Amino acid sequence: MNNNIKNKVAWKIYFVWLFKRIIPLFILEIIFLVLVFYFLGKLVFVQSVFENAFLSSTQNPIVVASYMFKAFLGTSAVKKVVILIILGIGTLFMRDIGRAMASYISTSRIAKQK
């Protein structure tokens, strides 16, 4: 009976945390990513970069990464900054997804405790 309370409280607390701490960050990060991608799209013809990467790679991820890195080094300073911002926000986004998942797993374990 009391563990029932613990389970319910654990999930309620998880969702309070998710909506209070994580979802607002997700929304902000997505807005930033969309804006920066939009800005990047005006500077670079992204599709051709990926097409070239695909053609030069024969689908080997190391070759793709190498091509991307060379393309990055060869680009202008403004584009480099925009790409770094995207990578930064992308990293934060992935970190928050990781936090949400880790916390979900912890909460599931707590809720399963007898």
Partner 1 sequence: MEQLNSNNLKDEEILKLSQEDPAYFSFLVDKYKEAFLRAARGITHNLEEAEDIVQETFVKIYRYAANFQKRPGIEFKSWAYRILINTSITHYQKLKKERGNTEYLDPVLYNESPAFAVNKNVALEKDMKEGVAKAIGQMPEHLGRVLKLYFFDDMSYEEIAKKENISMPALKMRIFRAKRVFKKIVGEGI
Q: Please give the residue ranges that form the binding site for partner 1 (CB under 8 A).
A: 1-2, 4-6, 8-10, 12-14, 16-17, 20-21, 103, 106-107, 110
Smallest distance from the beta carbon of 113 to partner 1, in angstroms?
A: 8
Burial of 113 (0-12, 13-18, 19+ CB in 10 A): exposed
Q: How far is the CB of 3 from partner 1 (least distance, A)?
A: 9
Task: Give the dihedral sign, CA 31/33/39/45.
Answer: negative
Q: How big is the chain by its Cα radius of gyration, in Å? A: 21
Shorter beta-carbon distance to partner 1: residue 5 or 77: 5
How far apart are CB 84 and partner 1 at their closest, in Å?
27
